[in-house]
Chains A and B, each alone.
Chain A
Amino acid sequence: MAKTALQFRHNGRDVAIFVDGGTNLLVALRELIGDMTPKFGCGQGGCGACSVLVDGELHLSCLTLAETVAGRSVETLDGIKDGPNLHPLQRAFADNFAAQCGYCTPGMLMAAKALLDRNPSPSRDEVVEAISGNICRCTGYEPIINAVLAAASGGRARA
C-alpha cells in the first residue's frame, strides 16, 4: 500500500511518519507516534475523547485526515504539562474529582484548554459551551464544570 510521508510538530517536537491513504490523525498519533493520550470513543465526531489542538484550535483527531496536519502543530494531553509539573487544569480536575473512569478526561482537558487559552476567565455558560462536544458518562458534568472554573483565573467570581 502506498504510504505518504508526513511531518508535523507534536507537542513541540518535530515528527516524521509514513501514513496509509485515509489514515486519521487519531490513528497516526496513537499507532505511529505512540501518544496514547487521545482516545477512540466513536470515530463519528460525537464524543470528543480524541480531541487535540491543531495550531491551537480544538479538533477531533478521529475526523482529521492525518496528512492535513503536515507542517502544523498538534498538541495533545501528553504535551500540556510543564516539565514534571501538572497544568493548572490537570490540578483542578484532580482537586475537583472531575474524573471517574478517566476515559473522557484527555479530551475534556483539551477542550477546556482550548477555552482558557482564548478566554482566561470564562463564565459557567462559556465552560458548558466549551465542553459541549465531549461526552462524559460517569460524572454528570458538574465536577468537570467546577474544575474548569476553578482553573480559570477569576473564574470563581464570575460563576
Chain B
Amino acid sequence: MPVTVRTFTSSGDAAAALSSDRSARYLGGGTLVMRALNEGDISISTIVRASDHALSRIEATGSRVTIGAGVTFARILAERDLAFLHAPARSIGGPAVRNMGTVGGNLFAPNPYGDFTVALLALDAMVSVQGGLGSRDIPIEEFLQGRERQTGTLVLSISCQKPGQTDAFRYRKIARIKPKGGSVITLAAHLPVNGNRIVGARIALGSMAPTQIRARAAERALEGRSLDAATISAAAAAAAEGTAPGDNALGSAWYRREIVGVHLRRLLSGQE
C-alpha cells in the first residue's frame, strides 16, 4: 500500500486521524518516521502532519516554560530564556539533526536516543497530549512508563518549571564519539537548594533501563542534605540501584552499572 500524507491545520483533527488509523504516524522532524520509511517499515502507511502554530510555540518568559512539541533543538539553542536546556539540546545529533529533530519526537526515541527527554524527566516536566477526548497533561514519568501505548497519541507540548538557580540543573551525556555520539549513559540532575539543603532532588538517567528512568536511591541520598563530598559519594554509590540497563552496541549492562556512579559523582562535583 502506498504512503498517504495527511496534513491538518488543527492538532485536534490530526490527533483524531492518528488515533483512528493503526498505520498512521505523526511526522515531526522526520528523524524517526522518515528513517523508518527509508528502511522499509511497511507498518506505516499514513503520515499525519499538523500545521497548528501552537505546536511550534515557545513560552519561556515566566517561571514555567512551555515548549511546543514541534520545536526543534536548534530553536531551543537560539532561545536565551531556555539556557538551562542548551546543554541537552546541544547533545542531540549534529547540526542538521538539531535543525530537524523536535522535543516531541525525542519523547519517543528509543535507546540509545532520547537524551533530551532525560533532562525533561529530571525537570519533572508535564507532557500535554491530544487524545480523542481533548487534551490532557501527563507527568513525564507516567508518559514514559506507558510510551509503548502512546504511538496513537499526539503530543502538543511539554512544560516545566525553570530551575531556580543555574547550577541547580546539570546534565551530561557520556558518548564514545566526540563531539557527536550515541549515549552510553545520560545523566541529568535537578537539585533545588533551600538554604543549604537540597529539596526535591531529581536524578534522571538515560540508557539505564528500557526507557529513561529516575535514580530514586540517589535522590534519597541527596534529599535534605547539602551537596558536600560525603553526600555526593553516597549518591554516587546509590546511582545504579533500581536501574535495569541492557547490553547494546555502545556498552554492556555491566559497564553501565560500573560507571553510572562515577559519572554522577563527577557531574555533582563539577569535575570534567
Contacts and interface: CB of A to CB of B under 8 A. Distances in A.
Interface of A: 1-2, 4, 20-22, 24, 43-45, 48, 51, 57-60, 62-65, 67-68, 111, 114-115, 128-134
A63 B94 contact: no
B4 A21 contact: yes
B140 interface: no
Interface stretch (B95-103, B152-160, B256-264): B95-103
A45 B2 contact: no
B37 A22 contact: yes
A64 B29 CA distance: 8
25 contacts: A2-B4, A4-B5, A20-B3, A21-B3, A22-B3, A22-B37, A24-B34, A24-B37, A45-B97, A48-B94, A51-B96, A59-B99, A60-B97, A63-B34, A63-B35, A63-B100, A64-B34, A129-B94, A129-B179, A130-B95, A132-B94, A132-B95, A132-B179, A133-B93, A134-B94
A57 B99 contact: yes
A12 B47 CA distance: 29
Interface string B61-105: 000000000000010000000000000000001111101100000
A54 to B, nearest CB: 8
Contact of B31 (A4, A45, A131): A45
Given A44-B39, A65-B34, A128-B179, A59 B96 contact: yes
Given A21-B3, A22-B5, A67-B5, A114 B35 contact: no
A64 B101 CA distance: 11
A132 B29 CA distance: 19
Contacts, number: 90
Given A21-B2, A21-B3, A129-B179, A44 B38 contact: yes
B96 A58 contact: yes
Nearest to B37: A22
A58 B99 CA distance: 7
A57 B75 CA distance: 12
A133 B34 contact: no
A22 B30 contact: no
A44 B37 CA distance: 10
A22 B96 contact: no
Contacts of B5: 4, 21-22, 65, 67
Nearest to B5: A21
Contacts of A64: 30, 34, 100
B27 interface: yes
B52 to A, nearest CB: 15
A3 to B, nearest CB: 10
A2 B74 CA distance: 34
B39 A133 contact: no
A19 B179 CA distance: 36
Contact of B74 (A20, A57, A62, A129): A57
A65 B2 contact: no
B38 A65 contact: no
B180 interface: yes
Nearest to B177: A132
Contacts of B95: 58, 111, 114-115, 129-130, 132-133
A129 B4 CA distance: 36
